[in-house]
Amino acid sequence: MTDAKRPQRNKLSEQEAIERAKQGDAGAFQFLYDLHKRRVYSLCLRMTGNTASAEDLTQEAFLQLFRKIGTFRGESAFSTWLHRMAVNVVLMQLRKKNLPVVPIDETTEGEDEGTIRKELGAADSRLAGSIDRLHLQRAVDELPPGYRTIFVLHDVEGYEHNEIAAMIGCSIGNSKSQLHKARIKLRDLLRVNRAEKAGKR
Amino acid sequence: MNCLQFENALSDYLEGDSTSEQRAHLNSCSACSGLLADLSLISSEASSLREFDEPSIRIWNSLEAQLRREGLIKQPSRSLQPDFFHRWRTAWAIPVAAALLLAAGIKLYQPAKIGDNQPVAKQHIPAAPAVPVVSAEDKEIMNTVASRPPAQVAAYRNDLAQANSFIRDAQEAVQNDPNDIYSQQLLMNAYEQKQMVYRLAVDQNNEDEQ
């Protein structure tokens, strides 16, 4: 394909697009949206488990970003800025709906430990070195909201425990222990899924 | 160290803080080594969900409309339709223009009818580029028009070559970015253009036969 025919937006760098968006260029806004839409939407969808909410939150996160783009000076990466904003938008929404952003220990502690103990002996039902991505996505969506938040922020998005603790207002120790429980819960869900699949064969 | 103690410290182990006691326990306990392997796998696979889902085009449509309402997009509003449709319309102009040109070309090169006082204009059709007609369908369509005047045959050959070139470019764009909706649309338009060339050739043949 010749340069003349190739879409113009492919030639833009993110930095150029940011500068052009500050001037009100529609194409630059769309370029930035296209560049980051999957990551932001996936984050919103994983954390809410609901398509309609994820669409609203994605729009809200980009809207907040574009409203403030004039203040972006490039001290941090644009993507870091955007993703942090998206996380804040989602957490605010979860709080508005009174959904737990931190798991409630009291109701799950005993149950989880029992599950873990029980499963420890079942060495023959390991995940066998591979996880289907679609199954993992479904299992994450089945996690209780509080566990899901911690798991998505740490294991999917790559935030550190101290960052998560600051974002959701819990201790670092709490973030660590809840992440552990979320992983255990996921393991159970994936193993049940695998057992069901094997049973159908 | 027993299994419960190991498990209580498992988070730290996964973060990279391991002790010799933990390592010794792992070597002797298949249940704990299995648990560790599973949790490590879950943790490492999780990042694959980072860009897992494709958002609906509705989001950009609403976002663009809102950005315009708030004056953040300062370009004159062509309309509130998303850029997707603007591009689509522009892309559609290509096959439509090609079809009109083709139709005009055919009309100009039809033999003068009895009683038609207008002389047939001596139009110059640019020579078709030396792109060979390769596919079986292309050969078939060229056979269909083979009995027409040489200038018409040349025009069809030229249009087919252009349509094939358009398809190749669009295919390349899709290969470069399979998720790009504009490239996908470009490819659809390219096929539409070729379909129009085929249709015109066949329709013209049917008219000739009636």
Per-residue pLDDT of chain A (201 residues; tens, 9 = 90+): 444 444 444 457 899 999 999 999 999 999 999 999 999 999 999 999 889 999 999 999 999 999 999 999 887 899 999 999 999 999 998 888 776 666 655 344 444 444 444 444 454 566 766 788 888 999 999 998 889 999 999 999 999 999 999 998 889 989 998 999 999 999 999 988 777 777 766
Looking at beta carbons, which residues of chain B come within 8 Å of A33? 60, 63
Q: Cβ–Cβ of A42/B53 closer than 8 Å?
A: yes
Residues A105-200, CATH architecture: Orthogonal Bundle (1.10)
Q: By three-state DSSP, how is residue B151 classified?
A: helix
Nearest to A29 among B42, B67, B183 (CB): B67
Distance from CA of A48 to the nearest CA of B (A): 13
Quickly list H helices, chain A.
14-22, 26-48, 51-68, 78-96, 105-120, 133-142, 145-151, 161-168, 172-200
Q: E strands, chain B, where?
A: none
Position B207 scores a pLDDT of: 59
Looking at beta carbons, which residues of chain A come within 8 Å of B70? 67
Provide the residue ranges of all domains of chain A, joining segments of one domain with +: 8-96, 105-200
For the whole prediction, is pTM greater than 0.90? no
Looking at beta carbons, which residues of chain B come within 8 Å of A155? 42-43, 46-47
Distance from CA of A47 to the nearest CA of B (A): 12
Q: Cβ–Cβ of B59/A55 closer than 8 Å?
A: yes
Instruction: Report the amino acid identity of residue B52.
Output: F
Tell me the per-residue pLDDT of B68-90, one tens digit each, with 9 for 90 and over.
989 999 865 443 334 433 444 44
Choices 1.20.210.10, 3.30.2090.10, 2.60.40.10, 1.10.1740.10: CATH for A8-96 = 1.10.1740.10
Position B143 scores a pLDDT of: 84
Alpha-carbon distance of A201 to B53, in angstroms, equals: 29
